[in-house]
Structure 1
Amino acid sequence: MEASATTNKASSLRWALLRRALLGRPASDPDERSKEGDKHISRKAARGFDLIPCQAIETGNSREACLCYTLPTAPSPKLFLHQRADNGVDLNDFEICNRHDIDNTGLVCRWPSEEVLAYYCLLQADMFRSKKVIELGSGYGLAGLVIGMVTEAPEVVISDGNPQVVDYIQHNINANLAAFGGTKVKSMLLHWNQEAASDISDSFDVIVASDCTFFKEFHKGLVQTVKFLLRKEGRSEAIFLSPRRGDSLDKFLVEVKESGLHYSIDEIYDSKVWRRHEDFINGNDSWPNYEKDHCYPLLVRVHL
């Protein structure tokens, strides 16, 4: 009974969050819950792992935010990431999601796994040398942009199934064009549940994705997309960084196995990421709604 009451309370609070976002009510509204309570029940990422230094840049646009990342590689290049401002929900988002059979999580925020994936790619830059790369379900495109800036990949495609998100990806590519050197970086609208264009079949050496295994209804389409895109010759692979999120990741891996693909899974793949995780778990650093199941991404490598 106590567990049920707790669950109902959390659900009610999340509905209050949605109501406030839709109505544009300020958090100070006496009829609404406090911001402090929001931090504990919201599934929206309150913060990240702080692996890549960044600071907010003034845009002069109340609907848009810009972050400037300083990549920890010589000569410390700057990466500019434009995203939607964190101040509400546009009802048009839901109409577009229904029309395209997609979700809007790429617009909500930068999820913790995105930063971890970008950081992992920074450390494993040699993995992408002379490789054709695609990022799936990229959100604002942080990892793909990092790969384009610091590796010697000849081509990087940054994709998402949401056309609004793809517009942001292209905006971010344009904002960082001078930093890509000889790497060709482009955006692509790619829906996992629809047949992909034949000209990209069997053409990618490396696929990367973060937090893309949450929605179980997209598992089959995601796995088939990976199988369709991976180059059949050579050592091609897909790299996923995803939290378990209940049984979502496990069910995704069942789908991977049933498709004939192979995978490995690693929990401690980087000492710095693991130390940050332990700090949050032990209360040495503050992340009010941090849960390992929901926030800590596991490394999954999938190959033919």
Structure 2
Amino acid sequence: MKESDRHWLALRQAICKRRDRKISTLPEFFQLFPATAVTEKAVDGGRWKEYTIPVHGKSPSVLIRENCELHVALQDLVCHRVNKGVDNTGNIKLWSSEQVLLYLILSNRVCQSISSTRALNVCELGSGMTGLASFGLLAHAPVSFGTFWITDGNEKALENVQRCFDRNIQRLNCDTDVHVRQLLWNHAESSLDTSEKGVFDLIIASDCLFFDGFHADLAQLIRILLRPGTGRCMLLQPKRGRTMDSFVAIAEQIGLSVSVQSNYDPFISKLDTEYTEKHNDTYKPDIHYPILIEISLMQERNA
């Protein structure tokens, strides 16, 4: 099988019904946080799980409602072509890059390292239907948060995120101003107030580079939202052929400072080595190993 086809096989598995036994089952990698089912039976195509997030001696847990439908209609998967540029990949599953992103931010004390005397403003782009990285950060609360946006373009995904927020509000135990918000990347300039631009200290996103048609809008949105001087954006996703490189080129063209790192955490690198040795027939770094992209505004823009 071609390397470029393996990622789309994972998507195809979600489309095809279980009775299609010709499609092999792909193992899941980088499942970093233990999860236990809260409900035995699915309700309305979803099942609640409790994720425990043990990092730096703290082990808070959050409740996440995940999709457990047997299949996703093909027209729903490619709905970005006709639905205002909004894709449906975030409603298919909890992609492993989200877990790695949350682990990386917490274990490396990213929030604490950002230079800021104020409460940290955070925005997750493309949260999908779970927003696990956001809820994990809010549960751990490594610093004081000010405004915290959990965003996606897909209304169905946001409905589920809101359900997760409502279910977790007592667990989060914080005074953060949390907004579950629809944010269409191709309409961001006109939909955002002036007071909402250039105010985010940390922007996070995982597996948001599936479709290269979104790359220019995503890069511009990051440029609009990021705080000049100290703002930091972290994107995490597998390389997937030229997909990631395409986004990096666009981001640099519009004046963003971009750093790409593959060896960003010893534990994640160790897992990569183990997967390569034990699962060399199914584990392919190009489609499984998350690469870190860090973005900031060019210094000349901060003068």
- Shorter-normalised TM-score: what interval? 0.7 to 0.9
Structure 2 equivalent of residue 114 of structure 1? 98
> How far apart are residue 81 of structure 1 and its match?
0.6
Aligned with residue 201 of structure 1, among 197, 202, 206 = 197
Residue in structure 1 matched with residue 184 of structure 2 by the alignment: 191
Match of 1:161 in 2: 153
Q: Match of 1:43?
A: none
Q: Which of 118, 124, 128 matches 1:135? A: 124
Q: Sort the Cα spacing of 1:16 and 1:107 in 2 relative to 1 into closer, same or farther, 3 A.
A: closer
TM-score where L is the length of structure 2: 0.83
Relative to structure 1, the CA distance from residue 67 to residue 33 in structure 2 (aligned partners, 3 Å threshold; closer, same or farther) is: same
Deviations 1:65-108 (A, max 9, x none): 12211110444211111122142225783596432322110011
What residue ranges of structure 2 are gaps of 5+ in the alignment?
Answer: 298-303
Partner residue, 2:140: 150
Equivalent in the alignment of 2:24: 38
Going from structure 1 to structure 2, the CA distance change for 1:51 and 1:125 (only over 3 Å counts) comes to same
Aligned twin of 1:56: 37
Q: 1:124 aligns with which of 104, 108, 125?
A: 108
State the TM-score, normalizing by the size of structure 1: 0.83
Distance 1:132 1:87, change over 3 A: same
SS of the residue 1:298 aligns to: strand
Please say if residues 100 and 162 of structure 1, whose CA atoms lie closer than 8 Å, have aligned partners that are also in contact: no
Residues of 2 paired with 1:247 and 1:13: CA distance? 18
**Number of aligned positions between the proteins:** 282
What letter is aligned with 2:67? Answer: R
Write the letter of the residue equivalent to 1:71: I
Among 249, 262, 267, the alignment partner of 1:254 is 249
Residue matched to 2:300 = none
**What residue in structure 1 maps to residue 283 of structure 2?**
290
Q: Aligned match of 1:88 in 61, 71, 86?
A: 71
User: Aligned with 1:52: secondary structure?
Assistant: coil
SS at match of 1:156: strand
Cα distance change, pair 264–91 in 1 and its aligned pair in 2 (3 A): closer
* Distance (Å, rounded) in 1 between the aligned partners of 2:225 and 2:9: 41
Whether 2:297 is the aligned partner of 1:301: answer no
Q: 1:235 to 1:61 in 2, by over 3 A?
A: same
> In 2, Cα distance between the equivalents of 1:13 and 1:259?
33
Query: Using the alignment, how far apart are the partners of 1:157 and 1:10 within structure 2?
Result: 32
Residue 276 (structure 1) aligns with: 271
Deviates more, 1:167-176 or 1:10-19: 10-19
**Cα separation, 2, equivalents of 1:135 and 1:11:** 23
Do 2:61 and 2:139's aligned partners in 1 also have CA atoms closer than 8 Å?
no
Separation of aligned partners in 2, 1:13 and 1:189:
29
Maintained 8 Å contact 2:77/2:89 = no
Percent of aligned pairs with the same amino acid: 28
Spell out, residue by residue over 1:278-303, the C-alpha distance to the aligned partner (whole angstroms, 9 max, x if none).
Answer: 111111xx586321001111111100
Give the drift of 1:16.
7.8
Q: Which residue of 1 aligns with 2:261?
A: 266
**Alpha-carbon displacement from aligned partner over 1:228-248 (angstroms, at most 9, x marks no partner):** 11122x410111112111001
1:4-63 residue CA offsets vs partner (Å, 9 max, x unmatched): xx79x9899889857743xxxx42xxxx434xx4225xxxxx413122122222154341
Q: 2:175 aligns with which of 167, 182, 191?
A: 182
Give the Cα–Cα distance (whole angstroms) in 1 for the partners of residues 93 and 74 of structure 2: 16
Q: Quick one: structure 1 residues 95 and 216, their matched pair in 2 at CA, closer, same or farther if it must change by over 3 Å?
A: closer
Give the letter aligned to residue 76 of structure 2: D
Gaps of 5+ in 1: 41-45
